[in-house]
Structure 1
Amino acid sequence: MTTTFVQTPSTADLVAARRPGHSLPRDLYCGQQAFKDDLEQIWYREWLFAGPSAAMPKTGSYITMQVGEYPVILTRGSDGRIRAFHNVCRHRGQRLCAKASGTGAKLVCPYHQWTYDLDGKLLYARDMGEGFDPSKYGLKSVHCIDLAGMVFICLAKVPPAINELAANVTRYVLPSGLADAKVAHVSRIVEKGNWKLVMENNRECYHCGGSHPSLCRTYSDDPLMTVMEGPNAASPEILDHWARCDAANLPSRFVNAPDMQWRMARVPLMDNQESFTMSGKAAVRQRMGTIPWNDAGSLMFYHFPSSWNHFLPDHAIVFRILPISPTETEVTTHWLVHKDAVEGQDYDLQKLIEVWMNTNDEDRQVVEENQAGILSPAYEPGPYSPTQEAGVIHLIDWYCGVMSARLGALQAAE
């Protein structure tokens, strides 16, 4: 009797087999090898949104994040600078900080109390003997940059160029005054879906009318309100909004990376409403930064693979996703308000967060049902709507382009 072995297609094969304008083959959404390749070729090599600088408001404030196999800690030093390090003690590898956030004058390993300064320098290591050189055992740094209050990290030894993104984020986000903001609320949820499904779901509003009753009070699910092709190519309503913003020197017109890895544009809310609230009115009395009107709409900014964001006149909402497993993704949301805004006086927290708390949970349910269907052997890739799902096409084209190039380079080198 002869046994026939069927070779499982590689990630490169699956990417190459993808039909343009269609969703991905099944294993790219749930396969262990594809997940490993995603981590190594994208998550360990691209700039990732880590969080708002407002989450580290003072010397010693820190946040942590888990990027695949890499635990990372970010902290604000006594010089005000935010730095990132591998969250691993140089003694025997203990994770330095287990909490999602906190504050400490120093970074102290809980195992044997090796103590590091906020710039990563080893300050104290008890009983290490003669000849021990603490200068050789500082924390390993991670590339880190603060762009107008949005902090990005990159795990690669040599990170990709960030100049164009940095210039545009700084110019567009600066009027929102993130450096003068504070965190009003943080939400962390785990969605039982692949990270690409989480991002796909965000990149279209084809599902909004049927899934997001709270959001659709103020945010239009008409694709003409979010699909644009350039700084002078959009619906008349958006073009009028941009002209108004131009007159106030408020950067708003569509700008994007050539491969659509990121894009920014400010769009009006429906019927000149002011904010993502159930009433459509501003949730916070004090406006953010230098935005001149309550009805300036939302500056929308996404960056593959890890973030989408909304900057409104009264508050900002920034989102970070991190892959946990082939079918699990962590979504962290920060609501930011002016640093002088007082809860209970200048804003009601429930009114501030309820629309996106509802929306996040609704998206979780959508993604989890999407993943459950894809796990079926009966799943096969279906076509995207070129009008309703143009943003999803951008994501999948970017993903396949990056993976094809990088996996192809690996194969060529073997």
Structure 2
Amino acid sequence: MDVTANISLGDPLEAARKATAEMLQTRERTYSLPQPFYNDERLFQIDMQEIFQKEWLIAGMTCEIPKKGNYLTLQIGNNPVLVVRGADNTINAFHNVCRHRGSRLCTGEKGKVAKLVCPYHQWTYELDGRLLYAGTEMGEDFDMKKFNLKPINVKTAGGYIFISLAENPPAIDEFLATLHHYMEPYDMENTKVAVQTTLMEKANWKLVLENNRECYHCSGSHPELLNTLLEWDDTHDPRATQEFKDHVAESAAKWEAEKIPYLHAGFGLRNRIVRMPLLKGTVSMTMDGKQGCSKLMGRIQNPDLGSMRILHLPHSWNHAMGDHLIVFTVWPISAQETMVTTKWLVHKDAVEGVDYDVARLREVWDATNDQDRRLAEENQRGINSTAYQPGPYSKTYEFGVVNFIDWYSARMLANLGAEPAPYLREVQIQSN
């Protein structure tokens, strides 16, 4: 039976959920996903319900809300979210929804408030979510304690703010402890966002991630990036040369001497941290390979720290260098539209125009992001064709894509409450 055909116009969402599980259970592991995973709106809704509303997501950086009352907002599917720094330096997260009639509380992307006041009818909340004022109009028997803001799970580590909309999100503390250790040299509380960009891509979010998880396309598409980037994440990569392995060993000896964490740390297929050197003679992801910011981060003394690569599925990759950090997050908008945000962070005391130039800092990744956008959009256009059928991944060049799809398939089946596919049983264990 062709289970792909089960995703047809008019089917209720529950039938689509069943068909989604069947397709994942019967697909060929080393092939791309069936077409509906990339262009069907009902399957997109399932992605939002079972992945983006249940997994841990990076909401932002702690330095973006440095003081009491600072907040940031974001949108996860239909869910507006509010993250605010409260008393005692605590970071809280809530559904950005007033408990009166459901209006959004904070409408700006970022800001600073003394209290959280709904602009509709002025219901007022403390920064910890407690309802403080609803007006006498609600009557004498109105119990304000029953109408506090609805909280969202939130954790912080290494300057990152993680949130999960799930009631019981998956375990993440082991990864966060390691992230805290690896980010210690950067002193992330004393950083700032030098510049941020938002790119809209007319492609499914999984295509954006698949493109990121391989460098098979790099030599033909990313000349600016390859001025500094070495594509291998690990000396065990089957394509890694002896020259590359020697370069890693030489760099690691210097990092060891300076007590800079660098060893590969993996947490199933969801999270990975590893420091890899950049091309010899380069120290930062700029066009000429020289520092993008003259003031180094945290306690770092040596600009030649390569790039510490941080992966967080389902939606983020990062590059941490000695002079600046780049944070990428992917936010699904619809079945065939995705928003990619990029943030460049530097030392908080670095002065624009003196220590760094914004145009120079973002030049490489502006070009690379736009090149990746075009690739993903062309990928989407082809997949929409009646001629599309899943194609084989390269076991050497695209193993990172296979890992991402393995993780996605395992988490989707688990969150749907479906039986794991035989080919994913080991992956499922590693991903929980």
Same fold, TM exceeding 0.5? Answer: yes
Query: What aligned pairs does 1:274-285 form with structure 2 within 5 A after superposition?
Result: 274-285=283-294
Render the CA deviation track for 1:81-125: whole Å, top value 9, x for unaligned. Answer: 211000000000001122222222221111111111211111221
Runs of 4 or more, structure 1, over 6 Å off, are: 223-226
2:217 paired residue number: 207
Q: Give the Cα separation in 2 of the matches to 1:101 and 1:410.
A: 42
Query: What aligned pairs does 1:167-186 form with structure 2 within 5 A after superposition?
Result: 167-186=177-196
Query: What aligned pairs does 1:87-106 form with structure 2 within 5 A after superposition?
Result: 87-106=96-115
After TM superposition, the structure 1 stretch with the greater mean CA deviation from structure 2, 64-73 or 307-316, is 64-73
The match for 2:58 among 49, 59, 62 is: 49
Count residues with an aligned counterpart.
Answer: 401
Deviation at 1:238, TM superposition (A): 2.2
2:415 aligned with 1:406, yes or no? yes
Answer whether contact 1:52 1:318 (CA < 8 A) is retained.
Answer: no
2:428 paired residue number: none
2:207 aligned with 1:197, yes or no? yes
Deviation at 1:139, TM superposition (A): 0.7
Q: Give the Cα separation in 2 of the matches to 1:279 and 1:7.
A: 52
After TM superposition, the structure 1 stretch with the greater mean CA deviation from structure 2, 297-306 or 121-130, is 121-130
Render the CA deviation track for 1:300-338: whole Å, top value 9, x for unaligned. Answer: 001110211111100111111111111111111111110
Query: Which amino acid letter does the alignment assign opposite residue 153 of structure 1?
Result: I
2:38 aligned with 1:29, yes or no? yes
Answer whether contact 1:302 1:309 (CA < 8 A) is retained.
Answer: yes
2:154 paired residue number: 144
RMSD: 2.0
**Secondary structure at the counterpart of residue 251 of structure 1:** coil
Answer whether contact 2:233 2:276 (CA < 8 A) is retained.
Answer: no
1:338 paired residue number: 347
Query: Which amino acid letter does the alignment assign opposite residue 117 of structure 2?
Result: V
Render the CA deviation track for 1:119-168: whole Å, top value 9, x for unaligned. Answer: 11112212222122222211111000110210100111112111211111
Query: Which amino acid letter does the alignment assign opposite residue 98 of structure 1?
Result: T
Answer whether contact 2:204 2:334 (CA < 8 A) is retained.
Answer: yes
Deviation at 1:221, TM superposition (A): 3.8
Answer whether contact 1:12 1:408 (CA < 8 A) is retained.
Answer: no
Query: Which amino acid letter does the alignment assign opposite residue 395 of structure 1?
Result: F
Deviation at 1:222, TM superposition (A): 5.7
Deviation at 1:60, TM superposition (A): 1.6
Q: Give the Cα separation in 2 of the matches to 1:90 and 1:235.
A: 57
Query: What aligned pairs does 1:248-263 form with structure 2 within 5 A after superposition?
Result: 248-258=258-268, 260-263=269-272
Query: Which amino acid letter does the alignment assign opposite residue 158 of structure 2?
Result: A
After TM superposition, the structure 1 stretch with the greater mean CA deviation from structure 2, 63-72 or 309-318, is 63-72
2:122 aligned with 1:122, yes or no? no
Q: Give the Cα separation in 2 of the matches to 1:150 and 1:86.
A: 19
Deviation at 1:7, TM superposition (A): 3.7
Q: Return closer, same or farther for 1:284/1:226 CA change in 2, 3 Å cut-off.
A: farther
Q: Return closer, same or farther for 1:141/1:408 CA change in 2, 3 Å cut-off.
A: closer
2:358 aligned with 1:367, yes or no? no
1:328 paired residue number: 337
Structure 1: runs of 5+ lacking an equivalent: 1-5
Q: Give the Cα separation in 2 of the matches to 1:188 and 1:40.
A: 24
TM-score (norm 2): 0.88
Render the CA deviation track for 1:222-275: whole Å, top value 9, x for unaligned. Answer: 67679489xxxx8332233223322321111111013x1111100111013111
Deviation at 1:343, TM superposition (A): 0.6
Q: Give the Cα separation in 2 of the matches to 1:264 and 1:185.
A: 24
Render the CA deviation track for 1:356-380: whole Å, top value 9, x for unaligned. Answer: 1221111111111111111111111
2:118 paired residue number: 109
Query: What aligned pairs does 1:225-374 form with structure 2 within 5 A after superposition?
Result: 227=237, 235-258=245-268, 260-374=269-383
Q: Give the Cα separation in 1 of the matches to 2:96 and 2:233.
A: 42
Answer whether contact 1:63 1:100 (CA < 8 A) is retained.
Answer: yes
Deviation at 1:37, TM superposition (A): 1.9
Q: Give the Cα separation in 2 of the matches to 1:45 and 1:294.
A: 38
Q: Return closer, same or farther for 1:245/1:273 CA change in 2, 3 Å cut-off.
A: same
**Secondary structure at the counterpart of residue 141 of structure 1:** coil
Deviation at 1:407, TM superposition (A): 2.8
Q: Return closer, same or farther for 1:154/1:320 CA change in 2, 3 Å cut-off.
A: same
Structure 2: runs of 5+ lacking an equivalent: 8-15, 421-432
Q: Give the Cα separation in 2 of the matches to 1:194 and 1:38.
A: 11
Answer whether contact 1:62 1:74 (CA < 8 A) is retained.
Answer: yes
1:3 paired residue number: none
Deviation at 1:410, TM superposition (A): 8.2
Deviation at 1:352, TM superposition (A): 1.0
Deviation at 1:65, TM superposition (A): 1.2
Q: Give the Cα separation in 1 of the matches to 2:349 and 2:236.
A: 32
Q: Give the Cα separation in 2 of the matches to 1:223 and 1:87.
A: 38
Q: Give the Cα separation in 2 of the matches to 1:30 and 1:239.
A: 44
**Secondary structure at the counterpart of residue 329 of structure 2:** strand
**Secondary structure at the counterpart of residue 71 of structure 2:** strand
**Secondary structure at the counterpart of residue 87 of structure 2:** coil
Q: Return closer, same or farther for 1:80/1:228 CA change in 2, 3 Å cut-off.
A: farther
Q: Give the Cα separation in 1 of the matches to 2:285 and 2:235.
A: 16
Identical counterparts, % of pairs: 48
Q: Give the Cα separation in 2 of the matches to 1:45 and 1:171.
A: 26
The match for 1:188 among 181, 194, 198 is: 198
Q: Give the Cα separation in 2 of the matches to 1:134 and 1:228.
A: 62
2:92 paired residue number: 83
Q: Give the Cα separation in 1 of the matches to 2:27 and 2:370.
A: 30
